[in-house]
Amino acid sequence: MSTNVNFIPVAFNENHRSLMSLAALFRENFSIDWLVELTGSKASEILAIFEEGCSQGWLAINKPGIFFFKDTEKKTDLAELSNLRPGKVTALTNRKFSAEGTPK
């Protein structure tokens, strides 16, 4: 499968693509807070990226601060861009968020 990143706005830089590819590795929902903790990025930057994804229709809000991919093809394309494997993300999130439970 060829990876299609054309759906990501041109104004998004490599860091934005990296954040979205990391978010795509979560099984279902993902939190702004989790990505802040995992990447050290600002919550406002992550929120802006996620809001753009929502406005384009490939992300949706589950509840405040919690998002999910509506478009599974775009999720798959982004996951292929990641340097991490899904198991590594699970290990990171289990370690960082053990008090809150495993992210879904």
Q: All domains of the chain, ordered by start, with CATH?
A: 14-81 (1.10.10.10)
Q: How many CA atoms lie within 13 A of 17 on its CB side?
A: 18
In the predicted model, is pLDDT for residue 66 greater than 80?
A: yes
Q: How sure is the predictor about 11, in pLDDT bands with cuts at 50, 70 and 90?
A: low
Q: What is the mean pLDDT of residues 43-54?
A: 92
In sequence order, what are the beta bridge partners of 63? 66
Q: Indicate whether this model's pTM tops 0.75.
A: no
Spell out the residues 6+ positions from residue 37 whose beta carbon is closer than 8 angstroms to its own.
Answer: 96, 97
Closest CA relative to residue 38, chosen from 13, 59, 19: 19
Look up tokens 């992550």; give the residue: 46
CA angle 98, 102, 104 (to 5 degrees): 155
Split at pLDDT 50, 70, 90, the class of 98 is very low
According to the model, what pLDDT value does residue 78 have?
87
Confidence of residue 75 (pLDDT cuts 50, 70, 90): very high
